[in-house]
Amino acid sequence: MIDFYAQVGGRVLPSSDLPLRFPAGEQHITDHPYDDETPLYVVIRGTDANDYISAAMWIDLQRQRGFRVAAIIPYLPGARQDRGKPFGAQVYARLINAMSADQVITFDPHSPVMPGLINNLTVVDSTEAVLKGLSGHALALDGIIAPDAGARNRAAKVAAALNLPVYTGSKKRNSRTGELTDFECEYIPDRGGRFLIVDDICDGGRTFIGLANAAALDPEQLVLWVSHGVFSGRYGHLLQKRFDHIFTTDSHPGHRNEDVGAWIVPVLPYLTKEISL
């Protein structure tokens, strides 16, 4: 999914520049701007490589017109491929750098590895979005749970903002098959409380179902926040049954999965305010 935005008559509106595809398959952009149109930014959601080529075309068009523009990429493709062979994070980072945006803005990346490979990058933390996303639901929380050690820093920021304790889970992953086993959760003394699990990505959902079972808490005691709701696979209905509330943003097209029934927090307001061109 890709969208272009511009300032027209003092308002931010969809740009008049539209993507198109030539009969042979190449991406292109129409060149018919409004008289008072100032291009601002392109938003890319998801992982379609054609969207990145379209974004590069749009950015080149604005460069030739004399404008500086930003690329907003809420979900960084390849961020989980931050080691091993092929080095996916580096491959996707090179693609993003080739777009030559004057600023790139992303939301809650999986790890520090890929952000270190992208030029002109601004990283937006998820804590503010978590707090505002939950604020309208009167959810009294007693603690925050990180699914594993890699997610603890993210969860700890939310815990600190809410003055709550943080607990950490763990699991084992078979690197060859991807199978997840041996879920554990740090002992939670308040067995009657309600707890928020905080992580960056929910793909198939097995991590969170396994963690919920390991914590031995009832569904009404568990709330889930994931910054990027991919929600692939067949576990959507199981997630819905295992958690009282599920929250995510619209950073990835998968957030619409009706089997999950997540509450959606629009991510753009947290990203556009970081534009500094």
Q: Average pLDDT of each block of 10 consecutive residues along the chain (277 residues)?
A: 94 93 94 85 96 97 96 96 90 97 98 96 98 90 94 96 95 78 88 94 92 93 97 85 96 93 96 96
pLDDT for 147 equals 94
Say if residue 86 is preceded by a cis peptide, omega within 30 of 0: yes
pTM of this structure: 0.94
Using N-to-C axis directions, what is the helix angle for 88-98 and 49-65, rounded to 10°? Answer: 30
pLDDT for 244 equals 95
Element (H, E) at 5: strand 2-8
Residues 92/113, Cβ–Cβ less than 8 Å: no
pLDDT for 115 equals 96
pLDDT for 229 equals 96
What architecture is domain 126-266?
A: 3-Layer(aba) Sandwich (3.40)
For residue 111, the SS3 value is coil
CATH class of 2-124: alpha beta
Q: Where are the domains of the chain?
A: 2-124, 126-266
pLDDT for 113 equals 94
pLDDT for 61 equals 96
Same fold, 2-124 and 126-266: yes
pLDDT for 136 equals 84
